A and B are shown apart, each in its own frame.
Chain A
Amino acid sequence: MSDITDLLGKWRAGDQSARNKAIELLSAEISKIARRLISKEHNSVELTPTELVNESMLRLLGLSRIDWQDRAHFLAMSARAMRQTLVDLARNRSARKRDAQVVTLITFSGDQGSEDTQIDLMELDKALNELERIDPFRARIVDLKYFAGLSNVEIAALENISESTVKRSWRVARAYLSIQLQDQDA
């Protein structure tokens, strides 16, 4: 428990290796929680990534120790772990050929309705890995924004860039991903 707090502190002080270590720790924890939730079907309920992150945050940091600063950093770190966990879950489900609905990542479209209403999580992961290869910065923005649900302001503060840069980067990144996904479909 104190490990994470410790690592968070070091990361804030500029230690990048602490960040990596913390992410490692987190990924393990998040996927452990997720797996446990899936297996305990009898009393589990709908689960959003935010809830998942919140829960792992509670478990790792302890109720009494969360302050806002830690929360933002924690969310930022969980972003990557979050994506990994969701993709793994989808992959397992898909492998077991269970309910195909569950495999698909469902989001709700805006009112225009011109867009696809569903994104295949595994395809998204593939596209995102590609983006990460050519442009790690924008890929990170996607992780923070889409998978960890951080606001533009929070991302701006974390990455030390302006809010409008966050907005534009997110636009370009999601345009890139949308095109990749469409092309994969074709």
Chain B
Amino acid sequence: MASSETTNQAELLRLVEQALELPPNERHLWLKQKVSPQDYQSIRRLLAKASEDTQGVWASPPFQHSRPSMIGRKIGPYEIKRRIAAGGMAQVFQAQRVEGDFHQKVAIKILMHNLDSISVLEHFEIERQILADLDHPNIARLLDGGTTEDDIQYVVMEYVDGVHLNNYFDPPKNLRELKNVVQLFIKIAQGLSVAHRAAIIHRDIKPSNIIVTKQAEPKLLDFGIAKILKPDYVISPKNTIVGALTPAYASPEQIEGKNITTTSDVYSLGICLFEVFTGYKPYDVESQTPVAAFTTIKSWLIEFTDKQKHLPTIIPDDLANIMRKCVAVDPEQRYLGAAELAEDLQNFLEDRPVRAKSPTASYRLRKFVRRNQLSAIAALTALVSLIAALGLSIYQTREANHLRALAEAQLSRAETVSRYLGDLLLSPSVNWDSRIQVGPNASVRDLLIAAEAQLMQDLFDLPDVRVELLNKISEARSRMGDHDAAIRIQTENVAWAKENLPIDSPVLEDAIYFLGAAHHNDLRFEGTFKHYLEVLERADARNLPLSLRQAYVTNDIAMAYAEQSQWISAVTYQGEALSMIARLGTSDEAAVWTPAYYNFGYYLYQAGQIEQAEDALRKALTIHQIQPDITMSPASKAYLRLARLVMFKNQTNSALLESEGYAREALRLSSQLAEKGSDHSTVILTAGTLAQVLILQNRFQEAYTLIEEIEEKYPLWKDKGEARYLAYARAKIHLEQSDLEHAKVMAERALELHRAGTIHPEDSGPFLKLLAEIYGNLGLDDQAINLKNASKTAYDQWREGESEVSKEKRDV
């Protein structure tokens, strides 16, 4: 009885809820028809109550009033007067310094509840550090700070008497006093640029963090979630406290939890600018989930920056363009830092042309690089952003590590560097547009050679910067295939660095690493190992905590062994790399783990340790799920490898279906990447694998269609080594149709492609076996027997763990 009463009650609640979907005047009648008269009596009141529109007491969450407050307390020489603001971590009070006749109003920020959590304390400490570093009239000054006897952490700041920028949201007035308001923003941007130059990103720029004094002097407050871009703090690119940001002013990349740069602050300031001149927020994402917010923002931004969304015509075009440039969806299209924004606002005030109108030269260069799909895209983008970063906001590139040296160099020196590199890059003699016609690499190579020549006679007084730039240049040359030049440049660079940099300099380590990498890219393994191992030795000698660089070098050493088919050594080093990543602890991101596990699985597979290989690949794929977007490439390879592994391990129906599933997933991911211009080789390998697994299931027609489709879509790949499985599958199809002649041609072709297209020609077993079968059918018995033996040898070698070839190589 009790249980039926319970269901009944829940059912009644459900019915009331359903009634709420109807217009108010129909609800009671509807409910009356649905339930017994008794029940109706009992829920009538409920429906009436639920139909009320006011939330009453339920409007806000419970609020616990408690205990005495800080008001009246003394902290050091300061007496707390009133609370100004409260946040999750800290509260801000207005206080007064009372010592002798001297009275001074201050703001005191107090870490809440005496938190002993290390990260919170550290954070507080970081803010104190940040403020101590920043001295600018438009940033609220740090006066004092410390810990009281009873362990309260506090920071004392300049008390700013004024109004929040929110009070400036009066568009008609602002437009009348346009110059004054723009002037205000110039000052804010100048204050912010001091932070940017010190490699600090504010991350929470919003009207309530900007106070304007009666003298119209804006002051930037609250560096509470600011980020210092120094290695000690840049634990990982995801190291952001997204929970603490303010969605209405946060950049899309912040909302996505992606890496943020100085341009993220520019974005937020752009939104403030928009609001000041329009009087409204561009979009409302306050209560949306991150995913929904991101979509809302992005679609608004695209319309806004494409000028489909019009601003009130009374806003001058140049000012509107400046706003658009601030909030470009692509961070690279925004002003690089607050300094550039300040400058452009000044241009606007003085009726000079604003940058916002046309893309900058460095932007054009980046576009150019992207358009031409250069082989050295990554290296060049890094180089270009490095150059751009030197002048405007030093930490523009993702590799904050590399750039720490720059931030620590004197600004004036950095400016010198930027000027001469800028002159070099942007001088009229280097005419980008005409050079693009010459060929994709020509102009870039010219640029690199010119930059190198310049560096040969310059920058001796900034050794870190000089070495760093040469690292980049040699890396770029190496990736372009200019191996000799890369090795030459980097050999000289390392020799110079060893004389001019401190023995334990991380920049020197980088230089040695790049020397190893230059050898590696040219498959000169002796030099590769020598320099990679030197990096590890130096890192060990420094006796500092393990760095990600060490893990990467170890990973690269494993890769170099793998490239020589020394699978056991590859497995050993990759295992070491994995354990380093684990010990690093902070690098628990899928972006690091997924490829590391994929490599491990691949090496294990090649070493004949199939089960461990399968484990590692599955692990890679599990981790891939955590951040699927940024791990597509290694994941597609892991799916591909797993598809092949499962297919060969056991050719039961269910195993083949499983393998097919993996191959399809690999194809889906790699096709997506291919559309963006990368990972074509995985698509081709995967399609071949999928065709193979279909053939093993006797689905010849499907396999045939797939091969045709892929070859049509990627015509350039037909003759590349990656097409070996496709050729193999074609041979199989011909064989099935008893078309032995074509089967023979295709199988020979597959073997040839295999030999040409892989650096591990010894695992040719399946190709040899197929060809042997075809020769056998053609009556070419001798050749068939030879091939069979060869295939058996290849297979045995593989099963043995490490092939003879690799042993020989190692002995050398």
Chain A residues with CB under 8 Å of chain B are: 9, 13, 33, 36-38, 40-51, 54-55, 57-59, 62-64, 66-69, 71-72, 86, 89, 101-102, 105-110, 112, 114-119, 121, 133-135, 138, 146-149, 151-154, 157, 168-169, 171-176, 178-179
CA A6 to CA B747, docked complex, whole Å: 50
Contact assessment for B64 and A63 in the assembled complex, using a CB-CB cutoff below 8 Å: no
Q: Are B59 and A109 in contact (CB under 8 A)?
A: yes
A135 and B7 alpha carbons, distance in the complex (Å): 8
B245's closest neighbor in chain A, by CB? A68
CB-based closest 7 A-B pairs: A115-B56, A175-B49, A175-B50, A54-B88, A151-B287, A68-B290, A134-B9
User: Across the interface, do A110 and B6 meet the contact criterion of CB distance under 8 Å?
Assistant: no
Looking at B67-75, B433-441, B556-564, the stretch in contact with chain A turns out to be B67-75
**Which residues of A lie under 8 Å from residue B586 when comparing CB positions?**
64
B312 within 8 A of A: no
Contact A107 B58 (CB under 8 A): yes
Given the interface contacts A45-B67, A63-B120, does A112 sit within 8 Å of B56 by beta carbon?
Answer: yes
A135 near B13 (CB under 8 angstroms)? yes
The smallest beta-carbon distance between A63 and chain B, in angstroms, is 4
- In the docked arrangement, what's the CA distance between A46 and B87, Å? 12
* Contact call B113/A55, Cβ cutoff below 8 A: yes
A67 smallest CB distance to B (angstroms) = 5
The 20 listed contacts between A and B (C-beta, < 8 Å) are A38-B67, A42-B150, A43-B114, A48-B64, A49-B61, A55-B115, A66-B241, A101-B65, A102-B66, A107-B61, A134-B9, A135-B9, A146-B61, A147-B61, A153-B289, A171-B20, A171-B50, A172-B20, A175-B46, A175-B49
B88 in contact with A51 (CB, 8 Å): yes
Contact of B57 among A66, A86, A118 (CB under 8 A): A118
Q: In the complex, what residue of chain B is closest to A9 when comparing beta carbons?
A: B626
Task: Given A9-B626, A63-B120, answer yes or no on A134-B10 (Cβ-Cβ < 8 Å).
Answer: yes
Question: Taking CB as reference atom, which chain A residue is nearest B54?
Answer: A110
Selected contact of A153 from candidates B65, B86, B150, B287, CB within 8 Å? B287
Q: In the assembled complex, how far is the CB of residue B579 from the closest CB belonging to chain A, in whole angstroms?
A: 17
Assess the B88–A55 pair: CB atoms within 8 A: yes
- The answer, yes or no, to whether B112 is at the interface (CB within 8 Å) is yes
Q: A105-B63, A172-B50 are in contact. List 19 more A-B contacts (CB 8 A).
A: A36-B113, A43-B150, A49-B62, A58-B88, A59-B115, A63-B120, A101-B65, A105-B64, A108-B59, A110-B54, A110-B55, A110-B56, A110-B59, A115-B57, A134-B13, A146-B61, A171-B20, A175-B50, A175-B52
Contact A58–B62 (Cβ < 8 Å) = no
Q: Specify which chain A residues have a CB less than 8 angstroms from the CB of B119 in the assembled complex.
A: 58, 62-64
Q: Does B242 sit within 8 A of A, measured CB to CB?
A: yes
Q: When chains A and B are docked, how far (Å) is the Cα of A169 from the Cα of B16? A: 9
Contact B64 A47 (CB under 8 A): yes
Residue-wise interface mask of B (222-252) relative to A, using a CB-CB cutoff of 8 A (1 in contact, 0 not):
0000000000000110111111000000000
Mark interface residues in B27-69 (1 if CB within 8 Å of A CB, else 0): 0000000000000000001110110101111111111111111
Contact: A44 with B62, CB < 8 Å? no
- Residues of chain B within 8 A of A67, CB atoms compared: 238, 242-243, 257
Contact with A along B546-587 (1 / 0, CB 8 A): 000000000000000000000000000000000000000010
Distance A151 CA – B288 CA, assembled complex (angstroms): 8
> When each residue 100-131 of chain B gets 1 if its CB lies under 8 Å from chain A and 0 otherwise, what string results?
00000000000011110101100100000000
For B255, the chain A residues whose CB sits under 8 A away are 68
State in angstroms the CA–CA spacing of A133 and B257 once bound together: 39
Within 8 A of A (CB), among B205-220: none
Smallest distance from the beta carbon of B285 to chain A beta carbons, Å? 10
- Per a CB cutoff under 8 Å, which of A43, A72, A110 touches B113? A43
Centre residue among B13, B45, B239 by max chain A CB count within 10 A: B13
CB within 8 Å of A: which of B414-473? none
Number of chain B interface residues as a range: 35 or more
Known: A43-B114, A112-B54, A171-B50. A147 touches B62 (CB 8 A): yes
Nearest-neighbour CB distance to chain B for A70, whole angstroms, equals 8
Contacts of A154 in B (CB 8 A): 287, 289
Q: Which of B45, B238, B241, B288 contacts A63 (CB 8 A)?
A: B241
B89 within 8 A of A: yes
CB pair B115 A58 closer than 8 Å: yes
Closest CB of chain A to B44's CB: distance in Å? Answer: 11
Smallest CB separation, B205 vs chain A (Å): 19
- Contact between chains at A179 and B290 (CB < 8 Å): no
B17 within 8 A of A: yes
What is the minimal beta-carbon distance from B11 to any residue of chain A, in angstroms? 9
* Complex CA distance for A51 and B90, rounded to whole angstroms: 10
| Distance in Å: Cβ of B231 to nearest Cβ of chain A | 15
Given the contacts A109-B59, A110-B55, A45 and B123 also touching, CB distance less than 8 Å: no
Contacts of B288 in A (CB 8 A): 153
Bound CA span A47–B67, Å: 9
* Given A154-B289, A172-B13, A64:B20 Cβ within 8 A: no
B13 touches A176 (CB 8 A): yes
Q: Are B62 and A172 in contact (CB under 8 A)?
A: no
Beta-carbon contact of A41 and B68 below 8 Å: yes
In this complex, the member of A46, A117, A153 whose beta carbon has the largest number of chain B beta carbons within 10 angstroms is: A46
- Contact of B811 with A by CB under 8 A: no
Whether B292 is near chain A, meaning CB under 8 Å from some CB there, is yes
B95 to chain A, nearest CB (A): 15
Asked whether, in the complex, the Cβ of A86 is within 8 Å of the Cβ of B113, the reply is: no
Complex CA gap A30/B13 in Å reads 32
Closest residue of chain A to B285, judged by CB? Answer: A153
Contact B64 A43 (CB under 8 A): no
- Kindly state the separation between the CA atoms of A105 and B57 in the bound complex, as whole angstroms: 10
Is the beta-carbon distance between B150 and A174 smaller than 8 angstroms?
A: no
Shortest distance between the CB of B329 and any CB in chain A (Å): 19
Contact partner of B58 among A9, A45, A174, CB < 8 A?
A174
Q: Are A135 and B112 in contact (CB under 8 A)?
A: no
List A contacts of B66 (CB < 8 A).
38, 44, 46-47, 102
Bound complex: CA A96 to CA B84 (Å): 33
Nearest Cβ in chain A — how far from B806, in angstroms?
39
Q: Do B16 and A116 touch across chains, with their CB atoms under 8 A apart?
A: no
Select from chain A the residue with minimum beta-carbon distance to B8. Answer: A134
With a cutoff of 8 Å between Cβ atoms, the chain A residues found around residue B89 in the complex are 54-55, 58
**Please, which residue of chain A has its CB at the minimum distance from the CB of B286?**
A151
Asked if residues A121 and B62 are in contact (CB atoms below 8 Å), the reply is: yes
* CB contact between B70 and one of A43, A64, A66, A86 (< 8 Å): that residue: A43
User: When the two chains form their complex, are residues A105 and B289 in contact, meaning their CB atoms are under 8 A apart?
Assistant: no
B91 interfacial contact with A, CB 8 Å: yes
CB-based contact B290/A105 at 8 Å: no
Inside 8 A of A147's CB, which chain B residues have their CB? Answer: 61-62
Q: Which residues of B contact A115 (CB under 8 A)?
A: 54, 56-57
Give which listed residue, A36, A45, A172, contacts B46 with CB less than 8 A.
Answer: A172
A157 to B291, CA, bound (A): 10
